[in-house]
Structure 1
Amino acid sequence: MATFFSGGTIWCGIGCVADSVRIDGEKIVEVNGAAQPGDNVVDLAGAFMAPAFMDGHAHPLFGGREAQGPLVNGLQTVAEMVAEVKRFADANPNTPWIIGGAYEAAAVNGGDFLATWLDEVVSDRPVVLQAVDHHTIWVNSKAIEIAGITVATVDPDGGTIARNPDGSARGTLREPSAMDLIMKHAPERTLEDDVAAIAWSSQRYLESGVTASVDAWVREGMAEAYMAADKSGALKIDMDLYLLAQPDSWRDNVNYFGQIREQVKALGPKSKLACKTIKIIGDGALSAGTAALLSPYLDDPTSKGLLIWNDDEILDAAVLFDSLGFQLHMHAIGDAAVRQSLDTIEKMVAVNPKWDRRPVITHAQLIDEADLPRFASLGVIANYQPLWTYLDPMNKELIAPRIGDERNNRQYQLKSMIKSGARMSYGSDWPVTSYIPLLALAVPTHRQSPDKWPAEGWSAHEAITIEESLSFYTAGVAYQGFNEKRFGEIAVGMQADLMILEQNPLAIAPHDVASIKIRTVYKSGVAVIG
């Protein structure tokens, strides 16, 4: 039976509003038509219909995993975090490693958390907590002991171990190479645990109006869990897997990545999985002092952060994966990392045959003025996290003191990027920050904290409209994923992934958008929420 919707605002895409929509099966079959005999007629009663949200940069398996451990996300003091670790440890006495997240690094001046604070509540087994930036972990002394980290342990390439005055590890490690010193000793997760985490994450997404996402950090074993979840029905949304290439292992993984891509393709047309992208991490995070900058950090004039890849190695990887038909999704936060990514793409394009490659630079927080126009000229998609476009505690307490107000205030140049003609998309970076799009949708418009600070907005000249943001959460992500003929707009032939909101986000005060309720979510024409 077809379903006919009318009686509200139907936002089809930027600059396009319809009076009615008719869906039949999984597809949209008519826009601005009339109900047919036998249709299920739905009166929107003044509500707002739009394409469902899509998430163009996230780590949903990590989000599900964190939900299976101590939940320190949102806690504001060390005492609260330690208490939550104790609660979980007491409730789970047989769990060999306690792993959770994501803690607010700005709760401690400088972001160095001590192992001894965790030792007070758990000393007999390792504790590992991810920071909100997911480039940092906080561990207890047992984890340090098991990893064999001593005064003599050298910082690994691209990573740092925070140290006490005597050279011993304090309890904070930054960037994957250093974090792996600990994590390689953690017990392997079971397939069943990860399938459960994927089921939990995809259900949270549906509840927030998201029907398609990506996992932008897929390492060995994770793709296998997603395939198992897809086959069992535990995966309830469309998911694009981004395979993580790292400097020390990417050459060894080329065949494995190709095998995973083929295995995903073999799942068939009913599968919710895709795998066509390689993830490359170019630098760290500004909050950790590991984002790569063109000029030194103010709090450490000897440091410009960390470029995780050298120029030759990242180019070799980019050229090879691009030649194999993989899209590149490149993490670059500091202006030096953004420049390295753009330089790499420019050289890669000059070497390899032309094709519809759609490279992505995600985060792109700090961009040198000379580099901003290069996104459009090179066909690079800028993937932003809209919830980050206000002066949050991490920016105020950790980033601004490190890089100074001038550079801090040049972050998130969304309006300038639009003016340059570059394509844009949005992502949450969950579990670094919330997966709920409605909490983030209007932030690039008001650019203020929830209590409306600062009054004029943070770098208000870079503010954009809510409709532009809505398009980046829908059509922008669809284009990024080569899905613009399937998702992201309300048009005939599109998959009927739709959401109905109680209020029109384009017609209310920006700060009220975060409190809009979702009435119904349709996935492939079926109401899955509401």
Structure 2
Amino acid sequence: MSDLNALESTHEVPLLLRSGRVFTGDELHPTATAVLVIAGRIEKVGTDEELLGLIDSDAQIIDVNGGLITPGFIDAHIHPIYGGMERNACDLTEADSHAGTLEAVQNYVAQRKAAETNNTDWIFGGGWYTGFFPSSGPTAKELDAVTANMPTYLISADHHSAWVNTAAMKLAGIRSQTPDPEDGVIERDALGQPTGVLHEGAMDLLNHVLPPHSAEEYAAGLIAARDYLHSVGVTGWQDAILGEYAGYPDVSETYRNARLTGTVAETVTGALWVPRELTIETVPSLVDEFVQRRQTNAHAGFTTHTAKIMVDGVPENKTAALLEDYCRCDSLGMGRSPAAGEHDRGLTYLERDVLMAVSVALDAAGFDLHFHAIGDRAVRWSLDAIEETRRRNPAAAQRHHIAHIQIVHPDDVQRFGTVGATANIQALWAAYDPQMLEHTIPQLGETRTSWQYPFSSIQQSGGNLCMGSDWPVSSADPWQAIHVAVNRTYPHVLDQTAAMNEPLELDEAIDLHTALKAYTSGSAWQLRLDRDYGRITPGAVANLAVANRNPFDDITSDQPTSICTTKNVLTIECGEIVYKAHRGQTS
């Protein structure tokens, strides 16, 4: 018998996981404690005694010590290559404060100086958290102090802003006279001078000076991402942007090469990015291009039958599209007064008629639509677009989903079930963390704060649920997101102070069964992987994740706040062990 610290991957001989509990993708199995894998597929699910009687002495037996066996998690909205490349560059994701972020940059620069003779190259990276900085964001001046005059481009954790230093702005020609692009904002001081933060489309102002990354860098980023995702039990995903964005090119070729070489599994899919400059006149040519790209990718075994439409931005920089004006609030963050000047309701990146036209055309061409919609106006427009595709193409059976759904007007909640829209939820955000308290609520006011992340109501409306992390925007660990989905409080293993805050709209919590189903079979269905993946059932491909404990025990003991202590200790992909926890990580 093997333990979790002495495992060797073996595809040729039967593999038995025993002495655990089994979540099938639909439910916690009432009696099963073991799963038998033969030739990369699930042979049988049952008790230890039943399955031990089916194997011979050559089989590999792994005792999971009371842990939970689940289908491999499937992340329905993620940016792996971005995350992997940033992990390989100036990675700011582990910084825990404003000062800590600057220290991380300074340490990276010191490492670069020690390793290279030429220090004139760009500093690239990302992962800085907006909650550590004032609402206006960090500044070029403080970045200048730690970057030794090397031009620097650091993408925020949410990938909606970039932090640049003075050298970078000088190279790009960004100054007080530079106008804001239609789809973005240059953060400025009281005198109109750029401060060093570029929001949304303003990030593209540096595209002409940013040095290109090599194919080798992209490939290395994908491998780094794959290995990290395996470590948290993720065995499949949808890359939510295949196209030029935030200084990155279309990385479809990286994925095609990875599929041809077997670097990533067939459970890796992608969404083709609809550019923001789209017009009614260019919709037909875009659809033709997407059809050709879908075919090219399919020849390499890479599935891209989804189109990604970013409808709006995020509320922290006032680019999320709202039905009513953003507000100025009192020091407690809950008093509302109208925003000064013209209507201040955020941005929509496509005109409404363009959004409707491209949605209908892509639906007719067989594409599932993946909407980014955070503000209540963006969510409404996305639902309108799905409703229009159902009306115009009644014979189509596309699986459309709306990601993020942060602010949903109560009038629109029931429409998820009515129009057949899946809510692609990033549950880790549905809590009072520092960004929510300091940057989001003051922009929304009390009423709209109460409309945030209505997971339970959408489920009750008949809408489907799937889950994704949006990594590297936030942690890709499914157990942290599941913890918030169930508790609506922040995981104490990530931030003890934030975890002490009251729940965010506790009535919108979903139970552990529902959350786990959304992250396994729900995401498999949404990404059209449900024929072979997302469930533990005989005949399914053996993509499995094993947790160090059974979090359903937390529910029965009324301690669901312990869900976040659950850790992935073993990941199996197509019957092969692709991750095992090191000694000391299994407890």
Normalised by the size of structure 1, how large is the TM-score? 0.94
Q: Distance in 1 between matches of 2:22 and 2:137?
A: 49
Aligned partner of 1:358 among 374, 377, 399: 399
The residue aligned with 2:195 is: 170
Aligned partner of 2:258 among 219, 229, 242: 229
Matches within 5 A, 1:206-225: 206-219=230-243, 220-225=249-254
SS in 1 for 2:176: coil
Matches within 5 A, 1:492-507: 492-507=538-553
Matches within 5 A, 1:138-217: 138-175=163-200, 177-217=201-241
Matches within 5 A, 1:27-176: 27-32=41-46, 34=51, 35-38=53-56, 39-93=59-113, 94=118, 96-122=121-147, 124-175=149-200
Deviation at 1:124, TM superposition (A): 3.2
For residues 316-339 of structure 1, give each alpha carbon's deviation from its aligned partner in whole angstroms, at most 9, with x where no partner exists: 211222121111100000000001
Residue 262, structure 1, aligned to residue 303, structure 2:
no
2:376 partner amino acid: D
The residue aligned with 1:483 is: 529
Q: How has the CA–CA distance of structure 1 residues 19 and 99 changed in structure 2, closer, same or farther, with 3 Å as cutoff?
A: same
Normalised by the size of structure 2, how large is the TM-score? 0.85
For residues 466-494 of structure 1, give each alpha carbon's deviation from its aligned partner in whole angstroms, at most 9, with x where no partner exists: 12111111011001101112111111221
Q: How has the CA–CA distance of structure 1 residues 291 and 475 changed in structure 2, closer, same or farther, with 3 Å as cutoff?
A: same
Deviation at 1:85, TM superposition (A): 1.8
Deviates further, 395-404 or 227-236: 227-236
Q: Distance in 1 between matches of 2:354 and 2:441?
A: 31
Aligned partner of 1:2 among 14, 25, 29: 14
Aligned partner of 2:345 among 289, 297, 304: 304
Q: How has the CA–CA distance of structure 1 residues 77 and 43 changed in structure 2, closer, same or farther, with 3 Å as cutoff?
A: closer
Q: Does the Cα contact within 8 Å between 1:216 and 1:241 map onto a contact in 2?
A: yes
For residues 66-93 of structure 1, give each alpha carbon's deviation from its aligned partner in whole angstroms, at most 9, with x where no partner exists: 1122222242443332232222223224
Q: Distance in 2 between matches of 1:73 and 1:42?
A: 34
Deviates further, 10-19 or 424-433: 10-19
Q: How has the CA–CA distance of structure 1 residues 167 and 374 changed in structure 2, closer, same or farther, with 3 Å as cutoff?
A: same
Q: How many residues are paired up?
A: 525
The residue aligned with 2:333 is: none
Q: Does the Cα contact within 8 Å between 1:364 and 1:382 map onto a contact in 2?
A: yes
For residues 9-28 of structure 1, give each alpha carbon's deviation from its aligned partner in whole angstroms, at most 9, with x where no partner exists: 11213334034432211211
For residues 209-254 of structure 1, give each alpha carbon's deviation from its aligned partner in whole angstroms, at most 9, with x where no partner exists: 1100111011143001111222334336731111111231575654
Q: Give 4+ residue runs of structure 1 displaced > 6 Å after superposition.
A: none
1:2 partner amino acid: P
Unmatched runs of 5 consecutive residues or more in structure 2: 1-12, 244-248, 329-338, 581-587
The residue aligned with 1:294 is: 323
Q: Does the Cα contact within 8 Å between 1:199 and 1:236 map onto a contact in 2?
A: no
Deviates further, 60-69 or 331-340: 60-69
Matches within 5 A, 1:380-395: 380-395=421-436
Q: Does the Cα contact within 8 Å between 1:247 and 1:313 map onto a contact in 2?
A: no
Q: Does the Cα contact within 8 Å between 1:196 and 1:234 map onto a contact in 2?
A: no
Q: Distance in 1 between matches of 2:433 and 2:122?
A: 32
Deviates further, 447-456 or 57-66: 447-456
Q: Does the Cα contact within 8 Å between 1:74 and 1:104 map onto a contact in 2?
A: no
Deviation at 1:454, TM superposition (A): 5.0
Q: Does the Cα contact within 8 Å between 2:432 and 2:489 map onto a contact in 1?
A: yes
The residue aligned with 2:579 is: 529
Q: Distance in 2 between matches of 1:456 and 1:136?
A: 29
Q: Does the Cα contact within 8 Å between 2:21 and 2:28 map onto a contact in 1?
A: no
For residues 361-397 of structure 1, give each alpha carbon's deviation from its aligned partner in whole angstroms, at most 9, with x where no partner exists: 0000111111111111111100111111111111000
Deviates further, 388-397 or 230-239: 230-239
Q: Does the Cα contact within 8 Å between 2:259 and 2:266 map onto a contact in 1?
A: no
Indicate the percent of aligned positions where both proteins have the same amino acid. 31
Q: Distance in 1 between matches of 2:72 and 2:531?
A: 15
The residue aligned with 1:15 is: 27
Deviation at 1:120, TM superposition (A): 1.7
Q: How has the CA–CA distance of structure 1 residues 432 and 37 changed in structure 2, closer, same or farther, with 3 Å as cutoff?
A: closer
Q: Does the Cα contact within 8 Å between 2:144 and 2:166 map onto a contact in 1?
A: yes
Q: Does the Cα contact within 8 Å between 2:231 and 2:569 map onto a contact in 1?
A: no
1:198 partner amino acid: L
For residues 285-331 of structure 1, give each alpha carbon's deviation from its aligned partner in whole angstroms, at most 9, with x where no partner exists: 01111111111111234411111111011112112221211111000
Unmatched runs of 5 consecutive residues or more in structure 1: none
Q: Distance in 1 between matches of 2:546 and 2:97?
A: 38
For residues 161-204 of structure 1, give each alpha carbon's deviation from its aligned partner in whole angstroms, at most 9, with x where no partner exists: 111233221111111x2110113421111110000000000000
Aligned partner of 1:379 among 420, 431, 439: 420
1:504 partner amino acid: N
1:387 partner amino acid: L
Aligned partner of 1:513 among 560, 563, 568: 563
Over aligned residues, Cα RMSD in angstroms? 2.0
Deviates further, 504-513 or 51-60: 504-513
Q: Distance in 2 between matches of 1:184 and 1:510?
A: 50
For residues 258-305 of structure 1, give each alpha carbon's deviation from its aligned partner in whole angstroms, at most 9, with x where no partner exists: 3331122112xxx4x321111110000011111111111112344111
Aligned partner of 1:436 among 477, 489, 492: 477
Deviation at 1:431, TM superposition (A): 0.4
Q: Does the Cα contact within 8 Å between 1:426 and 1:473 map onto a contact in 2?
A: yes
SS in 2 for 1:370: helix
Q: Does the Cα contact within 8 Å between 1:27 and 1:492 map onto a contact in 2?
A: yes
Q: Distance in 2 between matches of 1:455 and 1:433?
A: 19
Q: How has the CA–CA distance of structure 1 residues 355 and 493 changed in structure 2, closer, same or farther, with 3 Å as cutoff?
A: farther
1:495 partner amino acid: V
Deviation at 1:340, TM superposition (A): 0.9
1:277 partner amino acid: T
Q: Distance in 1 between matches of 2:425 and 2:461?
A: 15
Q: Does the Cα contact within 8 Å between 2:67 and 2:550 map onto a contact in 1?
A: yes
Q: Does the Cα contact within 8 Å between 1:213 and 1:237 map onto a contact in 2?
A: no
